[in-house]
A = this chain, B = another copy of it.
Amino acid sequence: MINTPYLLFLGDAPDPLAAKVAQGIRDWRPEFALGQFRMEGCRADMGLPDMTLTEAYRAGCRTLVIGVANRGGVISQAWKRILIEALEAGMDIASGLHNLLRDEPELVAKAEICGRQLHDVRIPSVKYPIANGEKRGGKRCLAVGTDCSVGKMYTALCLEREMRERGMKASFRATGQTGILITGDGVPLDAVIADFMAGSIEYLTPPNDPDHWDLIEGQGSLFHISYSGVTMALIHGGAPDALILAHEPTRPHMRGLPGYKLPSLEQLRDTALNLARVANPDCQVVGISVNTQNMDQAEALAYLAKLEADMGLPATDPYRFGAGKMVDALAAI
């Protein structure tokens, strides 16, 4: 569990896209984002107050979150100097970088001296149990995709926001590095050891109030041969009451697999529901979430209308057009 609130470290981001972790926190947990720290030449801006490390600590920041990808996969000397000062100023550091903070002896030594924590969210910090398959109280929703990277995390975050605005009990449950940094907690599922994958998801989504919804961040796809095992573990560990089908209609082939076509939404529906009912016989498919970022508005709306007619399910792009329809469907379960 990462201490909040955060100072968002934007470093020397060459462009706004490099700072997508910071952007995610800014968009989805604005209450955690007290300030930003930019180095010379930084081309990203979250519109937050620029703070020195000392100012950030005084303002209440308890963790510096590395909100930007590093160049060349190396933690540079320039970065390291600032990270060390952050520890001295009283903040922990959280990172989703491939190179781990814990592999930097200077940071480790300084953190020890200052009594501060280094959070490498790529690496599990918990010894997860093996899944026991016991029925838990509370409701769970999982987005499953025709492919990887089709908007499953944004779908879950949109649902959480809409539910909370309606006064419903809802928790986004992060299963990837960005989601963990956004919310300060979660399971880095792609780094969990095979035998404990489903158990880690049971751990992430414990028994809860009957009217509480866990909105579990999806990963991979049952139809993506590199990562389908991860998706399978999410379906059986999460034991969802509701599935949402997630899709990006303009993709020519499965991500990173030129020889593999995307499945149809009907194939995804039938395959995922069949498997989900092993863990939860009452599971239903409640809607379709379409990432329409590559379509203009008229095209997107026409596509969604046709999908609703063809599949008999509410269909929306929850980030562009709101998640209301889907929350209506979930609230009716």
Contacts and interface: CB of A to CB of B under 8 A. Distances in A.
Given A229-B232, A259-B134, A278 B194 contact: no
B257 A132 contact: yes
A233 B237 contact: no
A140 B193 CA distance: 25
A229 B133 contact: no
Nearest to A263: B278
Contacts of A229: 194, 197-198, 229-233, 236
Given A191-B195, A194-B194, A271-B275, A226 B131 contact: yes
Contact of A278 (B131, B223, B233, B279): B223
A275 B256 CA distance: 19
Interface in A171-201: 189-195, 197-199
Contacts of A194: 189-194, 197, 229-230, 233
Interface residues of A, number: 41
A229 B239 CA distance: 13
Contacts of A197: 194, 229-230
A99 interface: no
A222 interface: yes
A130 interface: yes
Nearest to A229: B233
Nearest to A191: B193
A260 interface: yes
Contacts of A74: none
Interface in A265-316: 271, 274-275, 278-279
Contacts of A259: 133-135
Contact of A275 (B133, B191, B222): B222
A203 interface: no
Contacts of A193: 190-194
A195 B199 contact: no
A227 interface: yes
A64 B12 CA distance: 55
A225 B131 contact: yes
A271 B275 CA distance: 8
Interface of A: 130-135, 189-195, 197-199, 222-223, 225-233, 235-237, 239, 256-257, 259-260, 263, 271, 274-275, 278-279
17 contacts: A131-B225, A132-B226, A133-B259, A193-B194, A194-B230, A198-B228, A223-B278, A225-B236, A225-B237, A225-B239, A226-B236, A228-B233, A228-B236, A228-B275, A228-B278, A229-B230, A271-B275
Given A132-B226, A132-B256, 7 more contacts: A189-B194, A194-B229, A198-B227, A226-B236, A228-B232, A229-B232, A229-B236
